Amino acid sequence: MREHYVFLLETLDVKFSGLDSHLYSKEVLSAVELEDITAEMTSFRANEKLLSALSRKSPQQFQLFLDALDNCGQRHVRNVISDQPGLKHVGSFIKKRFG
């Protein structure tokens, strides 16, 4: 489980891909969450903020996150975590870590 979290922290491109804005437009992220993410100076910290926010989301919103990866040029990230047998549990792992 930890490998998914670390992979996402190190691989996601939240700030420059438009992923954060896309998630906001789909109402996965609130305005406050979007502001917290965009205020971070490093991609790593922005990724942490996003994963923390996702830990409080519904399974449907987590699915929107996965879809957003496709729409924001990060299909490779989705493909890697989707090929992992623990994908269904990534959301619950994030919740345990930050929830």
pTM score, whole prediction: 0.79
Residues 73-99: pLDDT tens digits? 999 999 888 765 444 555 555 655 555
CB 19 within 8 A of CB 13: yes
Residue with tokens 């930890």: 2
- Nearest residue to 8 (alpha-carbon basis) of 87, 85, 71: 87
Domain of residue 72, residue span: 2-98
Residues 26-37: pLDDT tens digits? 999 999 999 999
CATH of the domain at 29: 1.10.533
- Nearest residue to 55 (alpha-carbon basis) of 95, 15, 25, 83: 95
The tally of domains found in the chain comes to 1
